[in-house]
Chains A and B, each alone.
Chain A
Amino acid sequence: MKIKAHAYGSIAFVERNFALIKRYIGWELVFLTYNIVNALAIGLIGARLGKEMVLYLIVGAMVWGFLSILFHEISESIAWERWEGTIEYTFMAPINRFTHLIGNCLHAVTYGVIRSTLILILVVLFFGISIKGANLPALIVILIVSGLSFVGLGLVAAVLPLLSTEKGAYATHIFEAVLLLISGVYYEIEVLPIWIRPLSYISPATYTLRAMRAALLHGAGFGELMGTIVLLLVIGIVLVPLGIIVFRQAEFYAKKKGKLKRSG
């Protein structure tokens, strides 16, 4: 009975978020078009430098696209609930916060995989790139494992709109922008100023990108990638519970200060 209730609880968020996507399908097409064009434009920057460079840049655009979808969908689902005023109803429902947040993450991962796959197919077709030598199973494993760590970051970021709808949304975007700068999305982190580099080492995106490029460009095997996969797994295992704990603390604070109401 409890498992059924948890399953229904998690499905609620998946269904609701896909219903919202369907309702605003026009905007979804706009964002998808923008992402595709963005990935193509970034790929074209490397066109004169050879196919490997194109692929290097496309991996950056792809991974960044996937990770930012996860990050956005999780944190913005909370922001959206704040805007609509429904968060009080979600919070007073008899589901625990784990079920609630996992439901949002489940939607984000599903949606992210669908969108990223679509973009990857179109980009590969556009450039006529062969990925025959790539280690695709490793690519999938890295995507899943890194998704876990980004879900954790998304959960931490979701705290911001919980506490302040508008200012929280500003802060979430700044947080995301910093990740883009430090993670070596379109360049090696060695080109960053030395004082920024320590930040690169704590971003899971840095390791995701390195591993995905190794698997896609050089066909690196699982043995070679195992260290990074384990590292990403550890980051995810630490960040997801941490994100849920931080969210619960923030919920307690919001309930203490009366910040859950629509105008709060």
Chain B
Amino acid sequence: MKEAVKCEGLSKTFKRKERIVALDNVSFTIPKNEIFGIVGPNGSGKSTLIRILSTLLIPDNGHARIFGYDVVREYGKVRPLINRVSVDAAFFKGISAWENLRYAARLYGLGGREAKERTLDILGRLGFDRKRYYEPLEDLSRGMQQKIAIARAFFTAPMLLLLDEPTTGLDPRSKMEVQGFVRRAMSNDGLTIVLTTHDMKEAEALCGRVAIIIKGRFVALGEPAALLKKYGKTNLEDVFLEATGREWQEIEYED
């Protein structure tokens, strides 16, 4: 199986007070060992796509396959292969990083000692102060919590990692540490990453290919250099303007 992810005609609509088209006929393929970036403003469909790939949301139409397994019908085979970091570090905030990670480890069939060794190794590489490993998460900063979320995703050794805005809201130093960690992690044979981000520079620096999503549709997809060349621009923000007809900053401001 050459493809890590293959999506065909994915669509998802939510019926809230009004009908919201979150994904509109999205198709793409991600080969193994690529960082695939998805950039777009809030509400553009990035997280919906990540949730479908995470087996947490069922699409209305279309199919998504991860390493050949259908995310709806074969979710049991998909789950051991994936993990995820979301923008909000979701944890039991009253208990410690160690207790949260031990819980996650058990769910993935790992023993306590193995989990502690792996997570402390990852956290060390992320510049996390290990003395704070046993403190309640509510006492840790947002950046520290996000590093623990990253450790939780990496220590299960997934083949596909879904990073949903992992650096949003982080201070510049934490952001650099996380980006550096992601870059180094790609040397692991077989790891594939889907990265959604608001940060065009991050996408340009980390991703092999980037898709620009707006109102649930991919409006551009390609290698960052190829996109710059295609649109005759020097940065992805200008590519976004050209592809969508809207200023990136304007959309960020609206959000």
Contact = CB atoms under 8 A, between A and B. Distances in A.
Interface of A: 4-5, 8-9, 11-12, 15-16, 19-20, 23-24, 80, 84-86, 88-96, 252, 255-258, 260-262
Contact of A19 (B14, B93, B95): B95
A92 B79 contact: yes
Given A8-B109, A92-B84, A94-B80, A86 B91 contact: yes
12 contacts: A15-B106, A19-B92, A19-B99, A23-B136, A84-B93, A85-B88, A88-B86, A88-B90, A93-B108, A258-B12, A260-B56, A261-B51
B106 A88 contact: no
A84 B103 contact: no
A255 B90 CA distance: 18
Given A5-B109, A88-B86, A23 B91 contact: no
Interface residues of B, number: 37
B232 interface: no
Contacts of A95: 107
B167 interface: no
Interface of B: 12, 14, 47-48, 51, 54-58, 76, 79-80, 82-84, 86, 88, 90-95, 99, 102-111, 136, 152
Contacts of A89: 84, 90, 104, 152
A24 B138 CA distance: 13
A20 B92 contact: yes
Contacts of A256: 58
Given A16-B99, A19-B99, A258-B51, A94 B107 contact: yes
Nearest to B138: A23
A262 B92 contact: no
A24 B91 CA distance: 16
Chain A CB count within 10 A is highest, among B79, B103, B136, B152, for B103
Given A19-B92, A258-B48, 5 more contacts: A9-B107, A85-B88, A86-B92, A92-B56, A94-B108
Given A93-B104, A96-B76, A255-B56, A86 B90 contact: yes
Given A11-B106, A93-B108, A94-B109, A16 B92 contact: yes
A262 B82 CA distance: 20
Given A93-B104, A93-B107, A261-B51, A84 B92 contact: yes
B14 A262 contact: no
Q: Which 5 A-B pairs have the closest CB atoms?
A: A12-B106, A85-B90, A93-B107, A5-B109, A94-B79
B56 A8 contact: no
A262 B136 CA distance: 21
Chain A CB count within 10 A is highest, among B47, B58, B136, B152, for B58
Contacts of A92: 54-56, 79, 82-84
Contacts of B82: 92
A9 B94 contact: no
Contacts of B83: 92
A9 B109 contact: yes
A12 B91 contact: no
A82 to B, nearest CB: 10
A257 B12 CA distance: 10
Contacts of A9: 106-107, 109
B188 to A, nearest CB: 19
Chain B CB count within 10 A is highest, among A12, A15, A260, for A12
Contacts of A12: 102-103, 105-107
A74 to B, nearest CB: 17
A92 B75 CA distance: 9
A262 B90 contact: yes
Contacts of A96: 76
Given A85-B90, A86-B90, A16 B103 contact: yes
